[in-house]
Amino acid sequence: MIDASALSEKPVLPGSRIRLAPLSIRHATAFHATTLDPETRRLTGTHRRFTPEDIRAWCSGRADQKDRLDLAIEDLETGDYLGDLALLGIDADNAHGVLRIALVPGATDRGIGTEAIRLLLDYAFDRVRLHRVQLEVFAHNDRARRAYEKCGFEVEGRMREALAWDGEWHDVLMMAVLSSARPTGAR
């Protein structure tokens, strides 16, 4: 049985170079800038255009969500916003949830995503007591897929031509990791 109260706690999870902190209004400006970046939009398949007001409202309401965990990725030394990730879609009966992550452009290719995912998985498996965490990644996002694989995720399926982007169709890969299958360095 999962501990759903762990989703209400909104913890701060420190790592070696980053910390995961509750997403809040103080992250809204940097979060909004990320939604404007063309490459981030392509890699996340984000068609919608968000206004600064949309993002402020989103960020300010995250602490009130009792069924999900939305965290900012911050540089441990400077406190700079490096992205966000979430644990959502919790199925308490079957002890699984969904992970989502997006990094600011300057935070890629540095292992930050991998560290953030491992921190969140540790919390999801050890504190929330989930058995399985799943995600979707676009087949053209090789960098993200490699980070997920480093964290123990395996491809379980493919949704063919599920994303329309710039006049082309792209496949979506479904990946998951089980609590018993985490890499030993991720615990």
Q: Which of 101, 104, 72, 102 is nearest to 88 (CA)?
A: 101
pLDDT by residue for the chain (187 residues), tens digit each? 899 999 999 999 999 999 999 999 999 999 999 999 988 888 888 889 999 999 999 999 999 999 999 999 999 999 999 999 999 999 999 999 999 999 998 888 889 999 999 999 999 999 999 999 999 999 989 999 999 999 999 999 999 999 998 999 999 999 999 999 887 654 4
User: pTM of this prediction?
Assistant: 0.93
**Within the chain, where are the H helices?**
5-8, 28-36, 38-44, 52-60, 112-122, 142-150
As given in the structure block, the two tokens for residue 174 are 């479904």
Parallel, antiparallel or unpaired: strands 96-103 and 132-138: parallel
- Rounded distance between C-alpha atoms, residue 135 and residue 97, angstroms: 9
